[in-house]
Amino acid sequence: MKVSESNFSRRAFLNTARAATLSLCASPLLSTMANASLREKKGAKIDFDTGPARTGFVSDDRYLLHTQGARHPESPERLRAIHRQLKSSGLDKKITPIAPVIDPLPYIRLVHSEAHMDRVRKQAHDEAICRLAVSGALSAVDAVCSGKVRNAFCAIRPPGHHAANNGEFGFCFYNNIAVAARYAQQKHQLAKILIVDWDYHHGDGTEWAFYEDPSVLVFSTHALYAFPGSGAADKTGSGDGEGFNINVPLPRGADDRAIIRAFTERLVPAAESFQPDLVLISAGFDAREDDPLGDFNITDAGFAQLTELMMTMAATYANSRVVSILEGGYNTRGLALAVESHVQALLGA
């Protein structure tokens, strides 16, 4: 989807974002300060307890059938643990179920080649479940954009943010969030999409999908030294997309303060300039403390703060539209607790 220079100036975006970043860097900000700043924009009054049913939840037992072999870290137990925790906490009664019902094939083709799809058919245990994951993300976008719910969390698998056009990569087959962004643009005519990725691993597939596209702002925090080894800070997009890809690599042991500072100093000014119509989150919880595939120390409270920041941003610019899509997280108990914290924040609890 192309956005005309007259409606959305790349130069204006870059200049405004740089100026805002300089002013923010004068003193470190906590997420609460960023939230207060965003509420003041345009006189916005934000009340997370009003409007339609607050939070949708995409789930389907067929997601449990996907497997990549015994003892693989991306296992069905990840979703079972999430379901147990939401039931134990009582949150399962507060969320609105969303079924994955949309045929994703026409929209997968907006991102992936036929050759890639052929590879996935050969590589996946059941390619239909990979498509079902995309369907779940699209169904959440529909529910949010139609006003059925204000925001949604997709408990889907396999994950997607590493998927480009070379078959399975990093446990990912189809890029769920990239297809969701294209779907929102085509089906719901939303011009500007913000994708935020807080997974421990860089979402190289998502970067690939939008690297030359000024209509999708991609923001990522991650470990540069970890798989897949991409996500350098100087990878900022190319052509019309220059400046619309923001990578913020974090050091070993990055904690709540480090990631919240990255969001407030880099994302907040960029979002102010970009003003997205929809916020999509690649919600990877392998950045959480004690994850076997990561070495960050983000706590459940930290994920809640990040979620609240995204909600405030969406309320300010995007009519409160947020769709969060599960990516990584391999300590199943830790993943379940982080998702509980994330969903509580989406509910405004």
Q: Which domains does the chain have, with CATH numbers?
A: 51-347 (3.40.800.20)
> Exposed (0-12), middle (13-18) or buried (19+): which is 47, by Cβ within 10 Å?
exposed
Name the H helices within 149-228: 176-187, 204-210
Residue 13's pLDDT is: 52
Check whether 227 has a pLDDT greater than 80. yes
* Cα–Cα distance, 199 to 74 (Å, whole number): 14
The neighbouring-strand residues paired with 43 are none
Residue 342: CB atoms within 10 Å? 23
Check whether 96 has a pLDDT greater than 80. yes
Name the H helices within the chain: 10-24, 31-40, 77-89, 105-108, 114-123, 127-145, 176-187, 204-210, 256-262, 268-274, 300-317, 332-347
Q: Is the peptide bond before 104 cis (omega within 30 degrees of 0)?
A: no
Query: Which one from 66, 161, 162, 222 is the annotated catalytic residue?
Result: 162
Across the chain, mean pLDDT equals 89
- The closest alpha carbon to 134, from 155, 104, 158, belongs to 104
What's the average model confidence in pLDDT over 281-309?
A: 98
Select the more confidently predicted residue: 236 or 45. 236
**For 37-74, what is each residue's pLDDT tens digit?**
444 444 443 444 445 579 999 999 999 999 998 899 99
Residue 24's pLDDT is: 41
Residues 6+ apart with CB under 8 A from 87: none
Check whether 297 has a pLDDT greater than 60. yes
The pTM of this model reads 0.88
Residue 163's pLDDT is: 98
3-class state of residue 19 by DSSP: helix
Stretch among 3-7, 96-100, 190-194, 335-339 having the lowest mean pLDDT? 3-7
**For 147-167, what is each residue's pLDDT tens digit?**
999 999 999 999 999 999 999
Residue 75's pLDDT is: 97
Note whether 10 and 240 are within 8 A (CB).
Answer: yes
- The closest alpha carbon to 36, from 282, 255, 276, 309, belongs to 309
* Cα–Cα distance, 192 to 328 (Å, whole number): 25
What's the average model confidence in pLDDT over 256-276?
A: 97
What's the average model confidence in pLDDT over 7-35?
A: 44
Check whether 209 has a pLDDT greater than 80. yes
Tell me if residue 162 is catalytic: yes
- Cα-based torsion angle of the residue sequence 21, 201, 250, 38 in order, rounded to the nearest 10 degrees: 30
pLDDT confidence band for 225 (50 / 70 / 90): very high
3-class state of residue 191 by DSSP: coil
To the nearest whole percent, how much of the chain has pLDDT over 90?
83
- The first and second tokens of residue 35, run together, are 């939230």
| Residue whose tokens read 């300590």 | 331
**For 130-153, what is each residue's pLDDT tens digit?**
999 999 999 999 999 999 999 999
